[in-house]
Structure 1
């Protein structure tokens, strides 16, 4: 038995366990779609329009750029991370490294597919498998955080649940709009549709 370099659980003769390998393969398969989805989160840096009656184009004021999305889609971002790892695996395996070509979208697709094809070697023979899996996990998480950011829970008051002895729970309630509120201490649940009722209960118990 050996230890998985990603999750540190025991595995049989591999650098990555079956669960981490499946997760890594899934994350790599999503990279092209994530790259495409990031485009919707960019903002143009400038526009060119024609002033009425002037007959000549003039630049409008620059518009803000969403830097995290730009960084992920530009040089040093997703394409660089994937191609750098693909090159490292090829070199360590003694295989020819295909030079990158084409636009970034195609390069991300080819690098992702190439790394997925190398997973049997990575999981069984490559000592950098753990570091590779960790960086791909972080890359996947970074892209997802831009495309579908998680809402931060808000403080919704304190729990008003009362036990048989008449003691009020009083634990702080954290809520995400549109979702049921569940007390982390006593597990009392407040439906998402009852925000006003919850506020009234909190005020009554105060």
Structure 2
């Protein structure tokens, strides 16, 4: 079998398919997020607050991943809508959030071979799937989030990126940077508070 499938290689398609599969279902990463909602869940340590006010009863970063417009379901359904425009998918916003994730994943996996052969944005799709899979995986395993590093756009605006940042738009000049371009930007100078 030829390694190239149009716009994506066979190994990339297999990686995307595996990450989509890992997100869905009752034992999938998305379903397992609910066990990580309580403060202190997932890292093995006690829930500790360093403030004088009561802690938020839920971990907001996990809750954000689980919302309808969050970084999992939102992008999945955006891709389903995109592929619907090509006549390759049917959008379904009925049911629970888990059911919607499962439907979107089934739809995207069913059409993955077509997208690899015909959709010019398959690389962007693959990056987004990887980022949502990675974000869910971090919450389940308790891995610390990637460290942000300030880099300087030539216009002087500081962008905060991680090694996982797929791309970013500068808020100062509007320049769009891909991952490799972001990694080539110089580190921003640290400013000492007066």
CA-CA distance at 1:95 after TM superposition = 4.2
Q: Is 1:42–2:37 an aligned residue pair?
A: yes
Q: CA deviation at 1:99?
A: 3.0
1:30 to 22, 26, 34: 22
RMSD, matched Cα? 2.3
Cα–Cα, structure 1 residues 137 and 65, in superposed 2: closer, same or farther, change >3 Å? same
Q: Which residue of structure 2 lines up, in the alignment, with residue 191 of structure 1?
A: none
**Alignment of 1:76 onto 2:52:** no
Instruction: Tell me which of the two structures has the higher relative contact order, counting C-alpha pairs closer than 8 angstroms and 6 or more residues apart.
Output: 2
Q: CA deviation at 1:11?
A: 5.2
Question: Residues 25-81 of structure 1: CA distance to partner in whole angstroms, max 9, x if unpaired?
Answer: 00001112111110011139xxxxxxxxxxxxxxxx774320111000013221111
Name the counterpart of 2:44: none
**Structure 1: gaps of 5 or more residues:** 1-9, 45-60, 153-206
Name stretches of at least 5 consecutive residues in structure 2 with no aligned partner: 40-53, 146-194
| Number of residue pairs matched by the alignment | 126
Q: In the superposition, relative to structure 1, how do residues 99 and 36 fare at CA in structure 2: closer, same or farther (>3 Å)?
A: closer
Q: Verify: 1:100 aligned to 2:108, yes or no.
A: no
Out of 69, 76, 86, the position equivalent to 2:80 is 86
Q: Which has the larger radius of gyration?
A: 1
Identify the match of residue 118 of structure 1 among 105, 111, 116.
111
Instruction: Check 1:62–1:26 CA distance in 2 against 1; reply closer, same or farther (3 A cut).
Output: same
Contact map agreement 1:72 1:143 (CA 8 A) in 2: yes
Answer yes or no: is the 8 Å Cα contact 1:16–1:124 preserved in 2.
yes
> Which residue of 2 is the match for residue 17 of structure 1?
9
CA distance in 2, matches of 1:113, 1:99: 12
TM-score normalised per structure 1: 0.56
